[in-house]
Amino acid sequence: MRIIEIDWQQTIAIRHQVLWPNKPPEFCIVEGDQQATHYAVELNAVLICVASIYRDADGVRLRKFATLSDYQGQGAGSLMLRFILDKLKEAGMTYFWFDARESALAFYQGFGFEVEGELFYKSDVAYYKMARHF
């Protein structure tokens, strides 16, 4: 497995399949995709995990982090998150945040992220804002 930088268009198929399969693919396009940085975990020339990083007034935000179901639990997501955290530390970032699905809280807490705020919903899916200071 290796991490590569990709174009935003290359993220859509995995975002759609993993995060919002019951919505049209266009639902997975995020405002700011063209300015964001996008990464993928590649295995045997196949993209299996994607994540996108956006800079905003609050710091740096992770969005649309998704691993294909056949590869979940095999370390691709952990590899990606460690890679991103290292990049942000090297760049001198101090605050990293995202909206996490409630079902993924334990995964993120294992990387030192903490819940900020109350439970909320996006299209009937439960989320919490999570963040980490460096």
Task: pLDDT band for 58, please (50, 70, 90 cuts).
Answer: confident
CATH 3.40.630.30 matches 2-133? yes
Q: Report the C-alpha gap between 49 and 12 in whole angstroms.
A: 11
User: Which pair of tokens denotes residue 31?
Assistant: 């405002």
Percent of the chain predicted with pLDDT > 70: 100
- Sorted by where each begins, the domain ranges of the chain are 2-133
Task: pLDDT band for 57, please (50, 70, 90 cuts).
Answer: confident
What digits encode the pLDDT tens for the residues 61-87? 999 999 999 999 999 999 999 999 999
User: Residue 49: which of 13, 9, 89 has the closest Cα?
Assistant: 13
**How many CB atoms are located within 10 Å of the residue 47 CB?**
17
pLDDT tops 90 at residue 44: yes
pLDDT tops 90 at residue 59: no
User: Residue 49: which of 6, 92, 89 has the closest Cα?
Assistant: 6
